[in-house]
Amino acid sequence: MKKIKIAFKPWMGFVLFGIALALIPLLAEYTTFVKSSTIITIGGTVIFAIAALGLNILLGYSGLISLGTAGFMGLAAYLSAYMTVDLGLPFEVSLIVAVLVPTLIGVLVGLISLKIEGMYLAIATLAVSEILRKTFEEFEFITNGFSGKSARFPQLLGFIQLDRASTYYLIVVVLVIAMLLTYNMMNGQVGRAFNAMRGSESAASAMGVYSLKYRLIAFALATILASLAGVMYVHFIRFAYPSTWNLKLSLDFLAMIVIGGLRSIYGTVLGAFIVFAIPDLFLKQIPFFNQLSYVLNGVLIIEVIMFYPSGLINIGFDIKRLWLKLRKGIHDAGK
């Protein structure tokens, strides 16, 4: 008899993961286990995971650091809010423009990255982000300055008005697509070129990897994802302040990918949950400690780095290895 075997493909994993995320609002509606404010927290986390994924392409795969993620995300957020609210443009149009403009700037930074390395690049990108943030404060015409800019839930194709829950589904879909495309790219020729650039600049150029081209691609991909996250943010949270897009947020993204695991796609999402969602979802539930939830999160982040510097995503392998070792030990003892 012939057996019909369905091979488990990586894309199925991402889709299943997306379905699991999408179920959370339903749980909120039909059970008391999940609160509805949870959706905002988890939605925010998913948005930050999208931007962090871009940073992982840049730092994890290509070895190029950036502390500019927050600035690019903010720029996209303001642009999209301005175009949909003030100019009355369709969501789709403003999405495209709001992604394109920051990406052009991101590519410029990629050009700079040819000359500047390491810590210098980190601070240079921080400077770019600061230029953007100061501009958000001053350019009231678009950003409404310190008072903050408001936006609406997205309207798709001009007539499908989304609400909070459906915007959440949209965000989850964007994340799943981003994960899928990132996975495909990073496991092919482009991803290998990134890896080569990070691992050995000399080997990369000897093998014909044109480092200018791939640096620009890496910065473009990272900025595209940061901008997508910015657009999703402003249409989900429906508000943006200049102070949101500061150094702290860029460092948060860095923390997400380092804690979750460099070059790990699921790890990025895990990292986003730890940095962004854990204080709101869990730490605040601990009696007497709710005031300290963010302090505890800081402690948690430091602990993870100290005791698990390779990223929490690897914890699965390590538990498995420990289990095999234990079983072998028991087996040997039995003899």
The pattern of x and - marking residues 45 through 84 that bind another protein according to CB under 8 A reads --------------x-----x-------------------
Q: What is the DSSP pairing of strand 239-240 with strand 160-161?
A: unpaired
Is 246 a binding residue for another protein by CB under 8 A? The answer is yes
Which of 4, 246, 42 has the alpha carbon at shortest distance from 134? 246
Is 281 a binding residue for another protein by CB under 8 A? The answer is no
Give the residue, chosen from 101, 237, 251, 312, that forms a contact with another protein under the rule CB under 8 A. Answer: 251
Is 318 a binding residue for another protein by CB under 8 A? The answer is no
Is 131 a binding residue for another protein by CB under 8 A? The answer is yes
Is 117 a binding residue for another protein by CB under 8 A? The answer is yes
Closest approach of another protein to the CB of residue 315, in Å:
16
Is 198 a binding residue for another protein by CB under 8 A? The answer is yes
The one-letter amino acid code at 277 reads: A
How far, CA to CA in Å, does 99 sit from each of 78, 221, 225, 271?
A: 11, 11, 8, 24
Comparing CB distances to another protein, the nearer of 60 and 154 is: 60
Give the residue, chosen from 2, 309, 330, 331, that forms a contact with another protein under the rule CB under 8 A. Answer: 309
CB atoms within 10 A of CB 238: 15
Residue 159 CB burial class (10 angstroms; 0-12, 13-18, ≥19):
exposed
Residues in the chain: 335
Is 12 a binding residue for another protein by CB under 8 A? The answer is no
Closest approach of another protein to the CB of residue 298, in Å:
3
Closest approach of another protein to the CB of residue 281, in Å:
16
Residue range at the interface with another protein (CB under 8 A); choices 45-53, 148-156, 162-170, 304-312: 304-312
Is 264 a binding residue for another protein by CB under 8 A? The answer is no
Is 173 a binding residue for another protein by CB under 8 A? The answer is no
Which of 159, 133, 332 has the alpha carbon at shortest distance from 241? 133
Give the residue, chosen from 31, 88, 163, 208, that forms a contact with another protein under the rule CB under 8 A. Answer: 208
| 244, 92 Cβ separation under 8 angstroms | no
Is 119 a binding residue for another protein by CB under 8 A? The answer is yes
Comparing CB distances to another protein, the nearer of 89 and 251 is: 251
Residue range at the interface with another protein (CB under 8 A); choices 21-29, 150-158, 179-187, 230-238: 179-187
* Chain positions contacting another protein, by CB under 8 A: 59, 65, 112, 115-117, 119-120, 122-124, 126-128, 130-131, 134-135, 138, 181, 184-185, 188-190, 192-193, 195-196, 198-211, 217, 243, 246-248, 251-252, 254-255, 258-259, 263, 291-292, 294-295, 297-302, 305-306, 309
